[in-house]
């Protein structure tokens, strides 16, 4: 039997009357007790920690370098508005260009060299190039050095990425990659703070010196990074098998292109993600001259840069939790429209303090869009084409970045500074602000197109949705394993589909636990008898709700959680939605009370997906003859239950798979499998 990706061994677990075949051992609880996703646990690995410090410093240096080089390019260009924009556009474009032209080649080179020495030499060479820029002191050399530094970075990056799997155990690889991403983008904020501090402190002495100092600090970060890598002896040369062909950028683009263009939702996502990046890039590309127009200089640029990236980090980190009840598709499109509004705000409000606040909001919206777009891609794209699609998105994003960074400053330069007289009053407009306004309109239009193509709650006003969803936690998703609930009215086919699902999952090599509510535990069996036995008769509705809740508490603690912790796919035949539908709507209880009690009883544990089998109650009850205490409730009761299930699903379409349960068994099973396939834990790695 195969085990999921993160697993070294399989162990069998059996729980009460339920069926748990064999579940993966996600980590050795004796020597390495922290869960696989624990970021601090990855940092406890000495070799990785040192490499992480090194690439954190390199990233910091990279961002300071970007800020300092654009400032220096602007200084070289002098007071000419057009020349300044062209110089800055040149620097930004040349930073992205090498990745477009020689990205795949760089990976190929990195695979053939000793990784540790590649990184050490790469850091020292980058430091040396940076030092030469102020020493040579010409715009031409600045541009040439920018390309050379970028080429070295292109080889350094894959050497680092390829080293990580050799330094951390398999099950910690995802956390290590997450940390790498956070560090790469998160270091932009401290870099902006450092750059601003350097320029604010030293500018009164000498303006040119302050930028040069920032460049020397940047060079120093690379030297320290090289020294940190010297101590990581575990990094070596690539194994022979890693010398296999890497797909070229063009092959990746072509393969991804045909899938993306043929799938409307994915097409909308890719356009939107590129739009979110372009919105951020416009601010970075135009920020230098924009702050100059506001009279804020280098410190102002550092602040604006930090504000966009700070907002981006906040959006990525908090937006999904803050708007947890909002459908991901709506969050994605709303983020994009918000970025457009932010850009328009920057263009129209010419005051640095307010501009900074707007930049944070713009970054937040772009971050929200970016992260929900990536999540949606992960959910919507099947596993077998997901790698290519993500590679395509990355290539598309790089291309959009290069074009935006190049075109925006050139457009601003071409527009220039103008003052026009309108009815006796003079109005000044600058290229940077005007270009931002054009980009704002484009981002807004892209957002609206994405909204129209992807809205999954047509007819429900956005503001009502937003108000309802703000700050409401959706519950806690399991950290390991996969949790699936089957819901629906009487006789909808939940037991039938659960059994078919278990069979299919086992064929996929998954470890599966099939369980149900009420009655999966010893206590649950007793409770089931009480609530379903017609002899129980009428009981208080609150008592009924509490009996079902007690069954859930025992079920979650003693059956579901242990299996999920062990990495199993857990399928439950009924869960919290049944309580919300039967007790919250079928009975006369307040559904928010029922929700509160059930969240508490289940420790807020939420399934990753709920499959709702929808069937008119008459058809479902017609599938069998005998009636228990609940089945024998009135037709109205069962109608209310059905409506409640459907409303729950309509409020969060991304969380539900709603199926017409009158279809035949095989068709239903096929639809369930298609939805679950991309969500399954990897097996057999």
Ligand X SMILES: Cc1cn([C@H]2C[C@H](O)[C@@H](COP(=O)(O)O)O2)c(=O)[nH]c1=O
Nearer to ligand X, 18 or 434 (CB): 18
Residue 133 sits in the site that holds ligand X (CB under 6 A): no
Residue 591 binds which of ligand X, ligand ATP, none (CB < 5-8 A, kind-dependent):
none
Residue 496 binds which of ligand X, ligand ATP, none (CB < 5-8 A, kind-dependent):
ligand ATP
Q: How many helices (H) and strands (E) does the chain have?
A: 25, 10
Applying CB under 6 A, among 367, 518, 524, 567 the residue interacting with ligand X is 518
Applying CB under 6 A, among 326, 341, 527, 579 the residue interacting with ligand X is 579
Residue 490 sits in the site that holds ligand ATP (CB under 6 A): yes
- Closest to 24 in 3D by CA, of 504, 451, 509, 376: 509
Nearer to ligand X, 326 or 553 (CB): 553
Binding residues for ATP: 488-495
Instruction: Return the bridge partners of 610, or none.
Output: 485, 656
Continuous H helices in 294-327: 297-322
Applying CB under 6 A, among 325, 367, 493, 584 the residue interacting with ligand ATP is 493
- Contact between 489 and 617 under an 8 Å Cβ cutoff? The reply is yes
Applying CB under 6 A, among 435, 578, 585, 602 the residue interacting with ligand X is 578
- Span 640-679, contacts to ligand ATP by CB under 6 A: 664-665, 668
Applying CB under 6 A, among 126, 160, 574, 642 the residue interacting with ligand X is 574
Residue 582 binds which of ligand ATP, ligand X, none (CB < 5-8 A, kind-dependent):
ligand X
Alpha-carbon torsion angle 243, 247, 249, 254, nearest 10: 180
- Contact between 637 and 583 under an 8 Å Cβ cutoff? The reply is no
Residue 515 sits in the site that holds ligand X (CB under 6 A): no
- Contact between 37 and 67 under an 8 Å Cβ cutoff? The reply is no
Q: For residues 430 and 418, give the distance between their C-alpha atoms in angstroms, rounded to a whole number.
A: 6
Residue 372 binds which of ligand X, ligand ATP, none (CB < 5-8 A, kind-dependent):
none
Backbone φ and ψ of 638, nearest 5°: -70, -30
Q: For residues 438 and 445, give the distance between their C-alpha atoms in angstroms, rounded to a whole number.
A: 11
Applying CB under 6 A, among 548, 564, 601, 607 the residue interacting with ligand X is 548
- Span 595-654, contacts to ligand X by CB under 6 A: 630-631
Q: Tell me how many degrees the CA angle 41-42-47 measures, rounded to the nearest 5.
A: 125
Instruction: Return the bridge partners of 483, or none.
Output: 570
Bridge pairing between strands 569-573 and 512-516: parallel
Instruction: Find the part of the chain contacting ligand ATP (CB under 6 A) among 454-462, 494-502, 556-564, 652-660.
Output: 494-502
Residue 447 binds which of ligand X, ligand ATP, none (CB < 5-8 A, kind-dependent):
none
Residue 554 sits in the site that holds ligand X (CB under 6 A): no
Residue 332 sits in the site that holds ligand X (CB under 6 A): no
Contacts of 478 (CB under 8 A, 6+ apart): 564, 605, 608
Binding residue count for ligand ATP, defined by CB under 6 A: 13
Instruction: Find the part of the chain contacting ligand ATP (CB under 6 A) among 145-153, 193-201, 366-374, 483-491.
Output: 483-491
Distances (CA, A) of 137 to 130, 147, 241: 11, 16, 45
Residues at the site binding ligand ATP, with contacts judged by CB under 6 A: 488, 490-496, 623-624, 664-665, 668
Residues at the site binding ligand X, with contacts judged by CB under 6 A: 490, 516-518, 548, 574, 578-579, 582-583, 630-631
């Amino acid at each position: 039997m195969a085990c999921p990706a993160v697993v070294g061994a399989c162990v069998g677990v059996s729980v009460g009357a339920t069926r748990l075949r064999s579940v993966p051992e996600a980590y050795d609880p004796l020597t390495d007790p922290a869960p696989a996703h624990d970021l601090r646990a990855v940092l406890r690995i000495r070799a990785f920690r040192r490499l992480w410090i090194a690439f954190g410093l390199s990233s910091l240096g990279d961002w300071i370098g970007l800020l300092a080089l654009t400032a220096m390019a602007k200084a070289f260009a002098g007071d000419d508005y057009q020349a300044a924009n062209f110089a800055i556009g040149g620097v930004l474009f040349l930073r992205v260009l090498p990745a477009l032209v020689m990205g795949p080649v760089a990976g190929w080179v990195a695979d053939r060299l000793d990784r540790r020495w590649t990184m050490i030499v790469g850091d020292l060479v980058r430091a040396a190039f940076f030092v030469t820029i102020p020493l040579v002191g010409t715009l031409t050399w600045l541009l040439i050095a920018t390309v050379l530094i970028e080429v070295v970075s292109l080889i350094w990056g894959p050497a680092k990425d390829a080293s990580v799997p050799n330094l951390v155990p398999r099950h910690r690889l995802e956390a290590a990659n997450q940390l790498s991403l956070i560090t790469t983008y998160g270091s932009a904020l401290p870099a902006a703070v450092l750059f601003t501090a350097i320029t604010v402190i030293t500018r009164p002495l000498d303006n040119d010196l302050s930028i040069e100092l920032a460049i020397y600090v940047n060079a120093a970060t690379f030297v320290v990074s090289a020294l940190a890598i010297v101590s990581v002896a575990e990094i070596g040369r690539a194994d022979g098998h890693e010398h296999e062909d890497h797909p070229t950028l063009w092959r990746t683009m072509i393969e991804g292109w045909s899938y993306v263009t043929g799938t409307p939702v994915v097409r909308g996502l890719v356009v939107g993600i590129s739009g979110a990046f372009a919105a951020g890039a416009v601010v970075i590309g135009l920020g230098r001259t924009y702050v100059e127009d506001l009279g804020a200089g280098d410190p102002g640029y550092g602040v604006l840069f930090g504000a966009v990236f700070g907002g981006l980090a906040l959006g990525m980190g908090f937006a999904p939790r803050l708007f947890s009840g909002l459908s991901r598709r709506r969050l994605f499109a709303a983020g994009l429209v918000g970025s457009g509004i932010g850009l328009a705000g920057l263009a129209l409000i010419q005051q640095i303090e307010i501009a900074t606040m707007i930049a944070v909001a713009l970054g937040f919206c772009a971050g929200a869009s970016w992260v929900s777009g990536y999540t949606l891609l992960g959910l919507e794209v099947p596993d077998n084409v997901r790698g290519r699609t993500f590679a395509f998105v990355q290539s598309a994003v790089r291309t959009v970045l290069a074009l935006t960074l190049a075109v925006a400053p050139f457009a601003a330069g071409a527009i220039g500074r103008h003052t026009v007289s309108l009815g006796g009053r003079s109005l000044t407009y600058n290229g940077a602000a005007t270009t931002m306004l054009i980009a704002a309109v484009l981002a807004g239009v892209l957002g609206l197109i994405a909204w129209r193509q992807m809205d999954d709650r047509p007819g429900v006003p956005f503001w009502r949705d937003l108000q309802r969803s703000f700050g409401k936690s959706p519950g806690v998703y399991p950290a390991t394993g996969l949790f699936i609930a089957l819901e629906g009215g009487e006789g909808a086919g939940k037991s039938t589909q659960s059994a078919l699902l278990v069979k299919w999952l086992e064929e996929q090599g998954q470890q599966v636990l099939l369980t149900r509510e009420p009655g999966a535990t010893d206590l649950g069996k007793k409770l089931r008898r009480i609530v379903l036995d017609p002899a129980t008769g009428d009981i208080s509705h609150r008592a009924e709700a509490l009996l079902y809740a007690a069954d859930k508490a025992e079920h979650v603690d003693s059956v579901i959680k242990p299996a999920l912790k062990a990495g199993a796919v857990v399928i439950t035949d009924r869960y919290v939605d049944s309580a919300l539908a039967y007790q919250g709507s079928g009975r006369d209880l307040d559904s928010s009370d029922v929700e509160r009690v059930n969240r508490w009883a289940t420790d807020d544990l939420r399934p990753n997906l709920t499959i709702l089998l929808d069937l008119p109650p008459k058809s479902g009850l017609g599938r069998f003859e005998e009636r228990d205490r609940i089945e024998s409730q009135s037709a109205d009761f069962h109608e209310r239950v059905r409506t409640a299930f459907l409303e729950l699903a309509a409020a969060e379409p991304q969380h539900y798979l709603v199926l017409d349960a009158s279809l035949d068994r095989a068709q239903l099973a096929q639809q369930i499998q298609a939805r679950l396939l991309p969500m399954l834990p990897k097996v057999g790695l």
